[in-house]
Amino acid sequence: MMPEHISADRDGLTVVWESSGGGKSLTRTFPWFWVRDHGEDDNSLDAHTQQRKIDTFAIDSDIRASSASLDKANGLIRIDWPGDEATEITTRRLAQAAAFELDAASLSDPGDKTYWMAGNMPEPVPTISYEDVMDSEKGTLAWLELIENYGFAVVSGTVATEEATVELAKRIAPAQRTVFGTYWPLSAEIKDHKDSAYTTQFLSPHTDNTYYHNAAGLQMFNCIEFDGKGGESVVVDGFALARKMQREHPELYRTLTRVMVPAQYIEPGVHLAAERPMFRHNGKGDLTQVSFNNYDRAPFLLEPDEMKAFYTAYAEFNRLAMDQENWCKIPLRPGTALIFNNWRCLHGRMGYVGKRYFYGCYHNHADYESRLRTLRAQA
């Protein structure tokens, strides 16, 4: 997005963009201190690491530029400062800072994702082949973009072995280690942990790792063996439910953005504990994480009115999460792997009889985001 006009004014660099719709121009003034602090020339910024070279704390708080000139051909603005010093800043950096373009660190605009629930379920289920993911970076990018858009994806034709699970996971990044290990088996026949996941019973939709300060970003299951009935995996779009609450019950939504909900995990030699609001936002106000697990919620007490407000809001979200019209049921069988964004999607399981053996892992959300950014930059 190229500016139409710039000017060096008293209070800062004023930049004017023409509206894409042909309407009113978009104008933003960037304070001079900010402009100097965000220089992108070789003396201000390392082009490879994007680490700042300029000493922010040595900049005069009253700094003011002498002049500024726009180089449209190269998308640069040259800033001349008193004392014959000059710096440069790209027009793209300014457009991103003004939120007229997607920031380089952002994965996608929240409005561009596909949010799904009753009435607009993902049909068919977002799916990619194991061969496509393993054979090329292009295939891996397509896989991660399905997860970015829908919050989950199925990988068909996956080799039903633990080794293949590890190799598939490595297409993203090294797995995130938790109390369950780096890669872990999941079956009711495993007695290493007393967690409710290691049973045959129904599991209501929830997110994992609420008791970790850095809850896993992605979770993956590969079905190695299944001999029984039932046990369908359930995936729910927590962002879609949250957005519905925000539209229809804004006061309940606000309650779940401010109340810190504690969680814990306890077994011999382990007591994990963390807290966060159910709905977490970034600095722009975008919803970035839904954290909901009534199994692992720890005891806490608020003032009576606030406690009542929390329980009311919490119950409303649970009502939406338990509505089977909002569920995507996936019968995982050998040859099928499921991966989902644990910050966005809730997951659960229908009760089952027989033998069901999964092998899986978690990924750190930052590692997932990094892989997606770098693959897009290469595309």
pLDDT of residue 9: 95
Per-residue pLDDT at 80 exceeds 90: yes
| The 183-186 sheet, strands edge to edge | 127-129, 152-156, 336-341, 218-230, 352-363, 183-186
Q: What CATH number matches the domain at 5-97, 3.40.50.140, 1.10.3720.10, 3.30.2020.30, 3.40.50.2000?
A: 3.30.2020.30
Please answer whether residues 349 and 232 qualify as being in contact, where contact means their C-beta atoms are separated by less than 8 angstroms. yes
Distance CA 44, CA 36 (A): 8
Written as one letter, the residue type at 187 is S
DSSP string for 289-355? EE---TTTBPP----HHHHHHHHHHHHHHHHHHH-GGG-EEE---TTEEEEEETTTEEEEE--EEEE
Please enumerate in sequence order all residues whose Cβ is within 8 A of that of 50, keeping only pairs 6 or more positions apart, or say none.
none
Neighbouring CB atoms inside 10 A of 155's CB total: 24
Per-residue pLDDT at 331 exceeds 80: yes
Q: pLDDT band for position 151 (50/70/90)?
A: very high
Per-residue pLDDT at 287 exceeds 70: yes
Please answer whether residues 171 and 339 qualify as being in contact, where contact means their C-beta atoms are separated by less than 8 angstroms. no
Distance CA 116, CA 111 (A): 13
Q: Rounded to two decimals, what is the model's pTM?
A: 0.86
Counting residues of the chain whose pLDDT is more than 70, the rounded percentage is 97
Structure tokens belonging to residue 44: 């201000």
Per-residue pLDDT at 245 exceeds 70: yes
CA angle 12, 105, 211 (to 5 degrees): 120
CATH 3.60.130.10 domain position(s) in the chain? 111-378
Counting residues of the chain whose pLDDT is more than 90, the rounded percentage is 85
3-state secondary structure of 286: coil
CATH 3.30.2020.30 domain position(s) in the chain? 5-97
Q: pLDDT band for position 379 (50/70/90)?
A: confident
pLDDT of residue 20: 64
Output b/e per residue, 251-262; b: 16+ Cβ within 10 A. Answer: ebbebbeebebe
Q: pLDDT band for position 25 (50/70/90)?
A: confident
Q: pLDDT band for position 249 (50/70/90)?
A: very high
CA angle 57, 63, 65 (to 5 degrees): 130
pLDDT of residue 21: 60
- Each residue of 192-235: pLDDT tens digit? 766 777 787 999 999 999 999 999 999 999 999 999 999 999 99
Average pLDDT score over the chain: 94
Task: For domain 111-378, give the CATH number.
Answer: 3.60.130.10
Q: pLDDT band for position 111 (50/70/90)?
A: confident
pLDDT of residue 200: 79
For residues 173-183, give the mean pLDDT.
96
Per-residue pLDDT at 22 exceeds 70: no
Per-residue pLDDT at 24 exceeds 80: no
Per-residue pLDDT at 322 exceeds 80: yes
Please answer whether residues 275 and 262 qualify as being in contact, where contact means their C-beta atoms are separated by less than 8 angstroms. yes
Per-residue pLDDT at 115 exceeds 70: yes
pLDDT of residue 220: 98
- Choice between 284 and 316, residue whose per-residue pLDDT is larger: 316
Per-residue pLDDT at 154 exceeds 70: yes
